[in-house]
Amino acid sequence: MGLSPSWLLSRKMLRVALSILCCLLVVFLAAKELGTYYSKKIIDERLEHAGLRSFVHYKAISFSPFTLTPTLQSVSLGNEHYPWLAFRTISLKWLPLIYPDLRVSFQFDPHKSLARDSRRLLSKLGIDALKGSGLFTSNKIGRQLTSKLNLTIEQVGTLHWKSRLDLLTNTLSLQEFRSDLLASIALRQMSAMPIIYGDSVAFDKVSIRFHDTGLVHHLFPLQKHPAQKRNQMNITSTLEKVVDEMGLAKAGSHTSQLIVHQLLSFWHHPETLTFVMAPSKALSLKEIMLLSQNKQLYAGAKLSVTTHSITTP
């Protein structure tokens, strides 16, 4: 008895389907290997170019062919064994079609042993390990660059940053700008940015919102005893000094007192603190630096500080 035509057709279709699946698997594995190879090559080159190759350490790189996303595994900043900051993963949404736009997500590694200074800072914050995650995005439309950072740290709070920059020169390379910014942050040399890009970048608007979930309580605990008044005086003096050193306003001035009043309100009932810079015209980095040096940044850059708090019983 011969085989029916329908059975033979079904078997042929099955073989074709299996062949297609095998081809797709081979293509997937090849794309993954090639993506991993080129991701590592380009990331290492950019770290070398930025002078951070000896500062940034990672164990491995994986690559997703579906989203064209390389992910760095077990990243350490600083000393490889006792870094000042450690990440479980850092993922880069790396689609060539949308460059120079960026989308970087990361997770802290709470199990990594950190440097002594980092452990001391975490202790002041009242936490044993750094737990949390973040997402950074940056999009360029014309000559305007909009960047956002959402950062959550358990037992500390949530930070939302948004900035809108005007690119003032056609020769400005975003890759160079981002590399120099990362290097200046990592090496703690932020003062170099206004010197290099003072006339190339202008701030159109910046907003920073911090929602507290324990930071203020650990840094400045309220004392429910007669010494509380003295404690508030110390806090006030500290805040006035910070406002002066940041160049927001001169210590003892009316503007300084207004800023300190808002910060004290947040200290008493910490919930959400918001900073907004919205100048009437975009301010270059050089102009911002001069305002800060003259202790006029708050008024000159049209800064505002607001708090949203709940009254405790």
Over residues 31-81, the pLDDT tens digits come to 788 888 888 888 888 888 777 788 889 999 999 888 888 999 999 988 888
Partners of 73 in beta bridges: 60, 89
> What are the angstrom distances between the C-alpha of 161 and each of 120, 134, 147, 277?
26, 11, 8, 12
Residue 97 above 80 pLDDT? Answer: no
Confidence of residue 136 (pLDDT cuts 50, 70, 90): very high
Tokens of 42: 């380009």
pTM of the model: 0.83
Confidence of residue 310 (pLDDT cuts 50, 70, 90): very low
Over residues 264-308, the pLDDT tens digits come to 888 888 889 999 999 999 999 999 999 999 999 999 999 999 987
Residue 189 above 80 pLDDT? Answer: no
Q: Which residue has the higher pLDDT, 309 or 179?
A: 179
Residue 313 above 60 pLDDT? Answer: no
Over residues 219-261, the pLDDT tens digits come to 766 554 455 555 667 788 888 999 999 999 999 899 999 999 9
E-strand ranges in the chain read 56-64, 69-77, 85-92, 102-108, 132-141, 144-153, 157-167, 201-212, 272-277, 283-284, 303-308
Partners of 137 in beta bridges: 103, 148
3-state secondary structure 78-130: CCCCCCCEEEEEEEECCCHHHCCCEEEEEEECCCCCCCHHHHHHHHHCCCCCC
Q: Please give the backbone phi and psi of residue 308, each rounded to the nearest 5 degrees, phi first.
A: -130, 110
What's the rounded Cα separation, in Å, for the pair 243 and 102?
33
Confidence of residue 311 (pLDDT cuts 50, 70, 90): very low
State the Cα angle at 29 between 26 and 31, rounded to 5°.
Answer: 105
3-state secondary structure of 67: coil
